[in-house]
């Protein structure tokens, strides 16, 4: 009866503000009784619909990733095969000639882990593994490992085994993260001039990409590097023994003692020169001196056959000359950086695009005119040839 009266009053154009407190209270009570179940049902239906849509979207993304992964792996077979190599276990062998700069592997990580964690490492491994497909799970546990605790059984302690596999095979996947890439993980190590492929992480694509640093012949093993090898043979071997539990017998480490000492001297000199080049930032050396150091690093690298990091080195040289407001030299060093970034990280990389833009507008470099203006040497013929 009260509800009918209230409708009548509203129908007579009375404002709701004219209702008495008791009328308002009764209206809310009636509304809650008659409308709440319908509203609750609507909210439940909405949540179910959202869950369904998100589930379908997740499945679509997962299925798309599986298709892309299948495409990547099918492409692998036309470039390389994974084979047993005496004394090394499994390795990657080129099934055809590969040109310098060619993409060898494109791969998404099985999972990524931040460098700093606030939980148990084994618990974190267990969590990530629980999210893998059966195929990915098998891929992970098929990888090699070292430094497994002697008092554990790998057949039983799967969490400890997972941690050992991750620590052995994980590589950088961004500034503060590491990921596991089972196809890339098959690449064995080579020092200095021995490695012929390099990998880089592409944040926007969520992919690790491996490029050929040099021309690779059919039947040749593809080798990357596990560490900075601008050290002596003894230092490299000690590090690799400690970290990866193997004695390096790559072409450089297998050189006769005399040749090995010459190689060691070149590599150590390059390391020292990189440190000297860095002092330009503190004003210890000027732009001309900094570029002279770059030239010496380049020359030693050519003699050693150490061709990695040249894109970054040339880009850093471009930074120096841009800071000293030298338009011509900035363009010239950017052109060299574009070429070598193309080999190391890909012609479609952000680094190549940045160097192309720098050649168009040198004054747009963030370091432009931040130091005293001076004429700074452009790359010599030995670099641009």
At residue 362's C-alpha, the angle toward residues 356 and 365, to 5°, is 90
**Residue 146 neighbours by CB distance under 10 Å:** 13
Q: Which stretches does DSSP call E strand in the chain?
A: 80-85, 89-94, 103-107, 112-114, 171-172, 177-179, 188-189, 197-202, 207-212, 223-224
Q: In degrees rounded to 5, what are phi and psi of residue 207? A: -130, 150
Q: In degrees rounded to 5, what are phi and psi of residue 209? A: -125, 130
What distances in angstroms separate CA 318 from CA 135, 220, 299, 315, one per listed residue? Answer: 46, 35, 18, 5
At 21, list the tokens.
Answer: 């407190």
- Tell me the pLDDT of the chain (385 aa) as tens digits: 333 333 333 333 333 333 344 444 444 444 444 454 555 565 555 555 544 554 454 344 334 444 455 677 788 889 999 999 988 889 999 999 999 999 999 999 999 999 888 999 999 999 999 999 999 999 999 999 999 999 999 999 999 999 999 999 999 998 899 999 999 999 999 999 999 999 999 999 999 999 999 999 999 999 999 999 999 999 999 999 999 999 999 999 999 999 999 999 999 999 999 999 999 999 999 999 999 999 999 999 999 999 999 999 999 999 999 999 999 999 999 999 999 999 999 999 999 999 999 999 999 999 999 999 999 999 997 888 7
């Amino acid at each position: 009866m009260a509800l009918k009266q209230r409708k009548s009053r509203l129908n007579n154009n009375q404002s709701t503000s004219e209702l008495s407190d008791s009328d308002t209270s009764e209206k809310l009570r009636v509304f809650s009784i008659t409308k709440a179940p319908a509203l609750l049902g609507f909210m439940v239906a909405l949540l179910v619909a959202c869950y369904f849509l998100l589930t379908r979207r997740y499945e679509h993304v997962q299925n798309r990733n599986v298709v892309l992964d299948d495409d990547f792996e099918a492409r692998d077979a036309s470039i390389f095969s994974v084979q047993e190599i005496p004394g090394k276990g499994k390795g990657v062998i080129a099934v055809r000639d590969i040109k310098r700069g060619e993409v060898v592997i494109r791969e998404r990580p099985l999972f990524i882990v931040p460098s700093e964690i606030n939980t148990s490492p084994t618990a974190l491994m267990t969590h990530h593994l629980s999210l893998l497909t059966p195929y990915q799970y098998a891929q992970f546990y098929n990888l090699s490992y070292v430094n497994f605790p002697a008092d554990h059984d790998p057949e039983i302690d799967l969490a400890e085994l997972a941690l050992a596999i991750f620590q052995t095979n994980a590589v950088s996947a961004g500034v503060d993260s590491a990921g596991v890439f089972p196809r890339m993980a098959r690449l064995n190590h080579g020092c200095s001039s021995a490695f012929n492929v390099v990998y880089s992480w592409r944040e926007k694509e969520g992919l690790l990409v491996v490029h050929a640093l040099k021309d690779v012949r059919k039947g040749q093993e593809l080798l990357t590097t596990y560490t900075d090898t601008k050290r002596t043979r003894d230092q490299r071997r000690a590090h690799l023994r400690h970290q990866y539990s193997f004695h390096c017998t790559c072409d450089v480490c297998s050189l006769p003692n005399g040749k090995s000492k010459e190689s060691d001297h070149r590599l150590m000199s390059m390391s020292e020169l990189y440190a000297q080049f860095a002092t330009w930032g503190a004003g210890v050396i000027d732009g001309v001196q900094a570029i002279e150091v770059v030239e010496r690093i380049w020359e030693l690298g050519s003699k050693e056959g150490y061709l990695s990091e040249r894109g970054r080195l040339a880009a850093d040289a471009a930074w120096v000359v841009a800071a000293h407001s030298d338009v011509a030299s900035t363009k010239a060093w950017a052109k060299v950086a574009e070429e070598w970034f193309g080999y190391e990280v890909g012609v479609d990389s952000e680094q190549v695009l940045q160097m192309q833009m720098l050649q168009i507008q040198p004054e747009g470099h963030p370091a432009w005119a931040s130091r005293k203006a001076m004429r700074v040497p452009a790359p010599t013929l030995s670099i641009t040839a």
